[in-house]
Amino acid sequence: MSGGFFRGTSAEQDTRFSNKQAKLLKSQKFAPVLDHPVDMTKVKMDVIRPWIATRATELLGFEDEVLINFVYGLLDGKACFFMQVDGKQIQIQLTGFLEKNTGKFMKELWGLLLSAQNNASGVPQQFLDAKEEELKKRKVECERITQEIQKRQEKEGREFEQEKQKRMDVEAGSTAVSGSSLKHSLPKDSRVQSEERDMETKQSPRLKRRV
């Protein structure tokens, strides 16, 4: 066996590796979405990485930093020929980690990457829609809170006015009672004199008109 084989043969040049890859490509089931390569230079990976970490952890049932960083590396545009990545090749390399969940993970991931590739922002449309929906919910919640505060203030204002009116009514009633009590508390002669003065006051204009 030639020694040159061991010194200069790469995995791509090794026919055994190529045959194995070909067999895996034929034996595995791939989602149709993986037929399309992704240009990673058009994808904003900063928004994709959190999703990868979260989804991989959900499917595994625990956080595996080795797997997560491995996926990041496979999607690194700088390491890809012509900056494009092949979803089927990535699925083959992830099968040992995710096993039966590999197909599901790749289908979801590739859908996001293709969407991001087609958006000028480099962000998946699903993420943009989710953000818009979140902003709408926040707006509705803010409006609800504002209305509640306004209603509460209006209620407190009405209660304050009602209480103020009650106090005024009580004070007015007390004043009337005090006046009546004072009148009845005068001596009889004083009351008579007071009544006579009232009568004279009423009759005075009549007498003047007669004169």
Taking 50 as the threshold, does the pLDDT of residue 4 lie above it? no
Q: Place 147 in a pLDDT band, splitting at 50, 70 and 90.
A: confident
Domain map of the chain by residue range?
11-123
Per DSSP, the residues of the chain read --THHHHH--TTT-HHHHHHHHHHHHHS---GGGGS-EEGGGS-HHHHHHHHHHHHHHHHSS--HHHHHHHHHHH-GGGSGGGEE-HHHHHHHHHHHHGGGHHHHHHHHHHHHHHHHHSTTSS-HHHHHHHHHHHHHHHHHHHHHHHHHHHHHHHHHHHHHHHHHHHHHHHHHHHHHHHHHHHHHS-HHHHHHHHHHHHHHHHHHHHHHH-
User: Mean pLDDT across the stretch 133-153?
Assistant: 89
pLDDT of residue 23 exceeding 80, the answer is no
pLDDT at 10: 47
pLDDT tens, residue by residue, 37-81: 999 999 999 999 999 999 999 999 999 999 999 999 999 855 555
> Tens of pLDDT along 82-130?
568 999 999 999 999 999 999 999 999 999 999 999 999 999 999 999 9
Write the pLDDT tens digit of every residue in 152-189.
888 888 888 888 888 888 888 777 666 666 555 555 55
Quote the mean pLDDT of the chain.
Answer: 80
What pLDDT is stored for residue 169 in this prediction? Answer: 85
Q: What pTM did the predictor assign?
A: 0.60
CATH code for the domain defined by 11-123:
1.20.1390.10
